[in-house]
Amino acid sequence: VSGLPPNSVYLMDSEAADILQGIQDQMVFLSQDPDIKLPVSFDKGLAYAKRCENRVKPQTVRKILEPLKKHGVSDAEICLISNVSPESTDEVFSLIPTLKPNVGKLKGPLKIALDELADLKEGV
């Protein structure tokens, strides 16, 4: 993704929700300090990140999608796949056109990952 600093970290919505929830949980202590004020957008950001929360641990989702990196899928693309929760490989290739040149080597591993995610979400 162009335009972002090279040291940027891409997060899945569920990872962002965990981080923001941790900040909100600490607000009891942080609110005692008059210098610490959260922007109005904080609650909106937390609500957005939690909108599709499916009670699946972000670490589990990351573990399922991480092997796709061996096939050239970037962190940003992994986060996009996680956030959108596509149901098929065709949906992934439509959503992320940069993956199309590697459809031959990606289709199998991608299907495995999507199937594992579907099984995981069914079990929740």
Q: What pLDDT is recorded for position 53?
A: 61
Q: Which residue matches tokens 């937390």?
A: 46
d(CA 31, CA 112): 46
pLDDT tens per residue, range 65-110: 999 999 999 999 999 999 999 999 999 999 999 999 999 999 999 9
**pLDDT exceeding 90 applies to what percent of the chain?**
55
Q: How many CA atoms lie within 13 A of 64 on its CB side?
A: 22
Q: What pLDDT is recorded for position 87?
A: 93
